[in-house]
A and B are shown apart, each in its own frame.
Chain A
Amino acid sequence: TQLLEQSPQFLSIQEGENLTVYCNSSSVFSSLQWYRQEPGEGPVLLVTVVTGGEVKKLKRLTFQFGDARKDSSLHITAAQPGDTGLYLCAGGAGTTDSWGKLQFGAGTQVVVTP
């Protein structure tokens, strides 16, 4: 079983501050996805990273995949109340047999107050 550990579990910041969420594993993943989930809704895919060392930017969000493809981080610059949500990372093994299964982290609850 490939375990993904997310930290911190909970993050409360004020509008305008920056934050970073981490996703770590002892296993190598062929790809890693980040999702954001709001209460009462399903998770929404934010980004997929596949190459070690890859950095992707989505407006104020910056995603990085570790060189060894075992860890990833999500950095939000100048957070806004609309960034509030549960952030989940999920890793894919990438093999034919297991391509359907993603391993999810426990999630990081982010609260941005005005």
Chain B
Amino acid sequence: GAVVSQHPSRVICKSGTSVKIECRSLDFQATTMFWYRQFPKQSLMLMATSNEGSKATYEQGVEKDKFLINHASLTLSTLTVTSAHPEDSSFYICSARVLRGMNTEAFFGQGTRLTVV
């Protein structure tokens, strides 16, 4: 399967600061990556679709000015949580899709546990 690497795995930051999370596809090119947020014991909530070379597409209710997404290359997407607050504390996961025939499979990064204090 395809390998997606996410960094850092854990980060603690002070309220009001910004945090950048990286998502890399290691052995394939990903023109599209996805960012999810997951609360404890819940499923994944899609935040935005990251498109290489163009603007990200955000899901309804997700503040694009707060969650900045940059997809500068075919193997790297970054999510920056700006002016973080305690309510932004969560588990953030990225994924990249691999198209196989007419169907897709998603491969996920290891996730980033963000704690805002």
Binding site for B on A (CB under 8 A): 30-31, 33, 35, 40-45, 48, 50, 86, 88, 90, 92, 94, 99-102, 104-107, 109
Contacts and interface: CB of A to CB of B under 8 A. Distances in A.
Contacts of A30: 102-103
Given A44-B108, A100-B104, 19 more contacts: A30-B103, A35-B106, A40-B9, A41-B110, A42-B109, A45-B107, A48-B105, A50-B101, A88-B43, A92-B104, A94-B103, A94-B104, A99-B99, A99-B102, A99-B104, A101-B46, A101-B49, A102-B104, A107-B42
A108 to B, nearest CB: 10
B111 A40 contact: yes
A100 B1 contact: no
A40 B113 contact: yes
26 contacts: A40-B9, A41-B111, A42-B6, A42-B93, A42-B109, A42-B111, A43-B44, A43-B93, A45-B105, A48-B100, A50-B101, A90-B106, A92-B103, A94-B104, A99-B104, A100-B32, A100-B34, A100-B49, A100-B104, A101-B46, A102-B106, A104-B46, A106-B42, A107-B42, A107-B43, A109-B41
B97 interface: yes
Contacts of A45: 1, 105-107
Of B4, B49, B91, which is in contact with the most chain A CB atoms at under 10 Å from its CB? Answer: B91
Interface of B: 1, 4, 6, 9, 32, 34, 41-44, 46, 49, 91, 93, 95, 97, 99-111, 113
A31 B104 contact: yes
